């Protein structure tokens, strides 16, 4: 197994919600966006699941305005998408003329660009090992950030793949939402640091099996 840090990054509201079901919801502030893009500038890869792909339709790029002057680096997008929902309408494919995207799917469309590399999903642990190996082959030595969604991150914590998580808590509330941030009691979260970021709070946790 390739030794590489996989860590989670997520945002929640003041009432512990991750937004509204099926809708793109703004929780983070501009300062938090800045922190996240500074992370992206040093990552090997960035992971999302198919729900985040469809609902948020992110580019997963590093935005120049959020990072210091100098060389800008974009993490390799890694899409866990066993149902094969990735298609030409998604923004993450816009910049792939010369860059790689790793598509973890057993139903990947043959019409996707040649720069989309397909890794068939087997077990989660084996699949992550193959992703780590491919990132090394591509010359990427940094960590991998799991940015969404909630279910994918939860499973990766339970399987001891994600060992650290960054949680940004904002001052917004979503009283009608049932999309709560909940983790199983199989792991404990040890607080490493707390920082105020404008109207929100950043906390970084080390995760250990109970």
Quick one: fold of 1-6+38-149?
Answer: Dihydrofolate Reductase, subunit A (3.40.430)
| Helix, strand, coil content of the chain in percent (nearest 5) | 20, 30, 50
From the list 196, 170, 203, 165, the residue with the least C-alpha distance to 13 is 170
Q: Is there a contact between 143 and 131 (Cβ–Cβ < 8 Å)?
A: no
Q: What is the mean pLDDT of the chain?
A: 91
pTM: 0.93
Checking if the pLDDT of 56 tops 60, the result is yes
pLDDT tens-place string over residues 7-42: 999 999 999 888 777 778 888 999 999 999 999 999
pLDDT of residue 14: 93
**H helices of the chain, where?**
30-40, 50-56, 124-137, 150-158
Map out the domains of the chain as residue ranges: 1-6+38-149, 163-210
pLDDT tens-place string over residues 90-131: 999 988 766 899 999 999 999 999 999 999 999 999 999 999
Assign 175 a pLDDT band (cuts: 50, 70, 90): confident
pLDDT of residue 59: 94
């Amino acid at each position: 197994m390739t030794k590489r840090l996989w860590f989670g990054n997520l945002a929640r509201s003041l009432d512990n919600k991750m937004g509204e079901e099926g809708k793109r919801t703004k929780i983070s502030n501009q300062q938090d966006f800045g922190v996240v893009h500074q992370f992206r500038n040093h990552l090997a890869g960035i992971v999302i699941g198919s729900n985040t792909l469809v609902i948020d339709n992110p580019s997963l790029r590093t935005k120049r305005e959020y990072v210091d002057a100098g060389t800008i680096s974009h993490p390799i997008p890694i899409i866990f998408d066993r149902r094969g929902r990735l298609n030409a309408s998604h923004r993450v494919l816009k910049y792939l003329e010369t860059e790689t995207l790793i598509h973890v799917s057993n139903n990947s469309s043959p019409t996707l660009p040649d720069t989309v590399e397909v890794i068939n999903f087997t077990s989660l642990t084996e699949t992550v090992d193959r992703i780590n190996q491919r990132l090394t082959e591509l010359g990427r030595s940094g960590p991998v950030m799991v940015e969404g969604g909630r279910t994918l991150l939860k499973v990766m914590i339970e399987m001891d793949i994600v060992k650290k998580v960054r949680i940004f808590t904002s001052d917004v509330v979503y009283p009608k939402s049932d999309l709560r941030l909940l983790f199983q009691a199989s792991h404990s979260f040890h607080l490493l640091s707390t920082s105020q970021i404008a109207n929100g709070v950043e906390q970084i946790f080390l995760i250990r099996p109970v």
